[in-house]
Each structure stands twice: as C-alpha cells, then as structure tokens.
Structure 1
Amino acid sequence: MKTIGVIGGMSWESSTEYYRLLNRHAKARLGGHHNARSLMLTVDFAPIEANQRAGNWTALGDQLADAARQLERGGADLVILATNTMHRVYESIEQAIDVPFLHIADPTGNALRAAGITRVGLLGTRYTMEQTFYTGRLSERYDLETLIPNEAERADVHRIIYDELCHGNVNDASRAVYQRVIDELAARGAQAVILGCTEITLLIKPEDSALPVFDTTALHAQAAVDWAIEPV
C-alpha cells in the first residue's frame, strides 16, 4: 500500500474523521488487521482562519504548499487536503510537490455523475459556497449545476461551521437549521446535497436529510485509500 499524506487541522475535529475513515476503508478493502498507511501534518488553524477572513489567500497557499512538501519529504506517495475551503489554493499545493494531489471535489463529482445527478445543492463555508473554485470545478469537469443557499442561509451555515462544529459542538438546533436549508434547496430543484465542508459530516447524516447526501469527507477518504491500494 502507498502512503497517504494528509494536511489536517482545519479543523482537527474533521481531521479525526479523516483518520477514522481512512483506516475503516482500508480494513474494508483488505480485511484482517490492515490500516491505511498515512502521515498527517496538523497545521495551526488560528492563523489560517485569520488569513481566510482577511482574504490573504497567497499566504495561505504558501503555508499549505510548505505542509505538502513536508509530507512528501516524510514519504507520502499521495497528498490530500482535509478541508474543502482551502482547496481555494490547491494549485499552490500541486505545484509544490512531485507526488499526486487528490482534489476533494473530484470523488464527489464522480459519485454524483454515477448516481445520475445533474443539479445539486451545496453546503459549506461562505468561501466554498460563494467563490467559484469549487462550483466551477464541478461545472467544468462534471457538468453539474450547483445551487447554493440564499444569503441569510449561507450566513447561518457558515456561522455554525466556525462557531460550533470546528469546536466539536454538535447541536440539535443547528441540525434543524441545516435541515431547513436542505429543504429549501430541494424545493428549488436540487436532486441531492453536497456536504461541502469536512465538519458538516459531524452534524448531518443521511437520515437527517430530505435529499440524498454526498459527504465529501467520506468520498475523499475512500478515494485516497483506493488510490493507495491500486494507484491509477
């Protein structure tokens, strides 16, 4: 098995989910006592979050490129970034390393197309929902129409991620907020919903949603393990 390098810590709450899912999928694929061979570099989220708010994406790209180089020097054969939002700077990471980089939107795009979905709702941070680095990739590579919540709903979704989920706080009232947002996306014609922030998996499970759920965290981890076992 190849070694998966994970840039984590954004937040560490979702990075623990990555570690669990990587190993669970490796065991499902290989059986016995198998784990996923992995390295994780956990960054300090506080300066990253501050640079996000300041719109300093150049500095963020430099920091994550350095993290990727550290993983490659440590023996990673593949690098993944355990956050949707910071794929805003994925090109900086790809250019910094010689090993492959697995973009988080690609396993989700492939799964949606395989399911026959053409119009999908997207939940994530304000950056992921409002900027084009994510929705544009889904459109250009997978011919997907992406619907995002209205402005007030986007504010609620973003606030719950940063003020609650990033701190490990999972609240029923916030789950109800997300469920109402999903219902609105369904009313506008969404056939499914992307959990486009790696923390949302802590709050919304398939049984909580009126729409089929495509969890980027789970899909990304599974694709990384599949590549590590049978690189393509």
Structure 2
Amino acid sequence: MKKIGLIGGLSWVSTAQYYKRINEITQSALGGVSSARIVLESINRQEFISSVIERKDEASACQQIAESAAALEAAGADFIVITCNGAHRFVPEIAKNIQIPFLHIAQVTAQAIAEKGFKRVAILGVRKTMEEDFYPSILAQNGIGAIIPNEQEKEYIHESINRELVHNQFLDKTRIRYQSIISDLSERGADCVALACTEIPLLLSPEQSPIPAFSTTEIHCLATVKCALEND
C-alpha cells in the first residue's frame, strides 16, 4: 500500500472527512480492520486566509502549500492529496519542485463527470475556485463546459463557506439557498453541478441537489484509495 500524503487544515472540517472516508473506503476494499497509510501536514487556515484575503499575497499562500508538500515528500509519502479545491491552483508551480505526484482534485472530478456523459457543469466553491481557470481548463480537456455562478451567487457561496461551513456549521436555510442557486444554474444551462468545496457536501449531499451533483470530496477520496492500492 502506498503512503498517502495529505495536506489538510483548509479546513480541519473537511480534513477530518477525508481521513474518515479514506479509511472507510480502504477497509471496504481490503476487509478486516484495514486502514490507510497516511501522513498529514496540517496548515494553519488562519495564516493561509490572511495571505489570500487580507494581504492578497498569493505567493505567500503558495509557499505554505509548497512547504507542506516538501515535508510530505521528506516523510516518505508516495503522492500528495490536498483536501481543499482552491489550493489546487498552486499545483502547477509546486509540482516543479518535488519528485512525487499530486492527485489533482479537478482532474479526477472531470473524469467522473465525463464518464457519466454530462457536458455543462456548474462550479460551486470559494471565489478562487469559481474565478480561477484551473477547473474550466481541466474540464475543457475532458470535453465539458463550465458554468460559473453570477456575482450575487458567488458572494453568498463564498461567504457562507467562510462564515459557517469551515466552522462546522451546516444550516437548513443555507442548504435551501444552495438548492435555489443550483436550480437557477440549471435554468442557465447546467446539466450537473460540482460541489467544488470540500465542505459543501457536508451541507448538501448529492442526493439533496435539484440536478445531478458530484461531491469532489468523495470522488477525491475514492481516487486516493485507488491510487494507494495500485500495484499493491
């Protein structure tokens, strides 16, 4: 079994879900009381958010991820999994300087959507995920178009993630608003939705979505175990 390197802390809420699901999937695959080989680098979210939002210092934010990636490589990890969608915008830069691969969340999500035959996916996440190009470009490589929420929708989604979800708060009124936003995105041409913040599936499960939904957390965890068990 390969050793999984997790970069967590962005937030601890989704990181805990990753640890839980990776081990549940591993135990289901191998039986008994099997568990995954995991080494975790947990970033201080407050420092990361201060860089991104308060100082608008993307280089500092990238450096925090890069240092964690280097620490995981030194700890013997065979590949790296970032438990946060938005931080994947830094992967192309960081990957140049380490020798082990990243398991990119947008890549495995795009593959899962393509396998189901969907062509127009709405992207829900923090602002950096909705506004940066890494999701649309990877989706396009798989023949899928991206639909981005409008400014009012982006503001609500971004603020609710930072105000509630990363604090482990999941409110019915917020879930209802997300369902309404997804319905509106469907009317604007989306045939499915990517829950592209790793906390969103804890608020709104795919089964609760008005249109077919893909939990990036679940897809990433399944792909992580598959990668860990390959050639084992």
Q: Normalized against structure 1, the TM-score is what?
A: 0.96
Moved more, 13-22 or 49-58: 49-58
SS at match of 1:96: coil
- Distance in 2 between residues matched to 1:61 and 1:91, nearest whole Å: 11
For structure 2, which runs of at least 5 residues remain unmatched after alignment? Answer: none
Deviation at 1:151, TM superposition (A): 0.8
> Comparing 150-159 with 205-214, which one deviates more in the overlay?
205-214
Tell me the CA shift for residue 51 of structure 1.
Answer: 1.2
Q: Is the partner of 1:201 in helix, strand or coil? A: helix
Give the corresponding residue for 1:29. 29
Distance 1:28 1:88 in 2: 32
Equivalent residues in 2 for 1:68-147, closer than 5 Å: 68-139=69-140, 141-147=141-147
- Call closer, same or farther: CA 1:95–1:207 in 2, change over 3 Å: same
Checking the alignment, whether the CA contact within 8 Å between 1:7 and 1:80 is kept in structure 2 is yes
Q: Equivalent residue for 2:186?
A: 186
- Structure 1 residue 157: deviation in Å? 0.5
The aligned counterpart of 1:11 is 11
* SS in structure 2 at match of 1:116: coil
Shifted more, 26-35 versus 191-200: the winner is 26-35
For residues 196 and 39 of structure 2, the distance between their equivalents in structure 1, rounded to whole angstroms, comes to 23
Conserved 8 A contact 1:147-1:190: yes
Task: Quote how far apart the aligned CAs of 1:231 are.
Answer: 5.2
Letter in 1 for 2:211: L
The alignment-based identity, stated in percent, is 39
- Matching residue of 2:206: 206
d(CA) in 2 for partners of 1:40, 1:96: 19
Cα distance in 2 for partners of 1:55, 1:112 equals: 32
Task: Report the RMSD for the aligned CA atoms in angstroms.
Answer: 1.3
Matches of 1:231 and 1:60 in 2, distance apart?
Answer: 35
Distance in 1 between residues matched to 2:217 and 2:149, nearest whole Å = 20
CA distance in structure 2 between the partners assigned to 1:18 and 1:48 by the alignment? 19
Matched AA of 1:52: V
3-state DSSP of counterpart to 1:105: helix
Q: Report the AA paired with residue 189 of structure 1.
A: G
Alignment-derived partner of residue 41 in structure 1: 41
Matched, 1:150 2:154: no
Supply the distance in 2 between the matched residues of 1:136 and 1:192 (Cα, whole angstroms). Answer: 17
Contact 1:57 1:89 in 2 (8 A): no
Contact 1:14–1:82, Cα closer than 8 Å, also in 2: yes
TM-score w.r.t. length of structure 2: 0.96
Letter in 1 for 2:146: T
Report the AA paired with residue 208 of structure 2: D
Deviations 1:39-75 (A, max 9, x none): 1111100010111113311111111111011111111
> 2:220 aligns to what?
220
Q: Provide structure 1 residue ranges, at least 5 long, that are not aligned to the other structure.
A: none
Structure 1 stretches of 4+ with a deviation exceeding 6 A read: none
Q: What is the number of residues matched between the two proteins?
A: 231
Q: What SS is found at the alignment partner of 2:96?
A: helix
- 1:80-109 per-position Cα deviation (integer Å, ceiling 9, x unaligned): 111001111112331232111111101111
Structure 1 CA distance for aligned equivalents of residues 29 and 111 of structure 2: 20
What residue in structure 2 maps to residue 63 of structure 1? 64
Taking the aligned partners of 1:101 and 1:78, their CA distance within structure 2 comes to 6
The amino acid of 1:166's aligned partner reads V
**Distance across 2 between alignment mates of 1:231 and 1:183:** 42
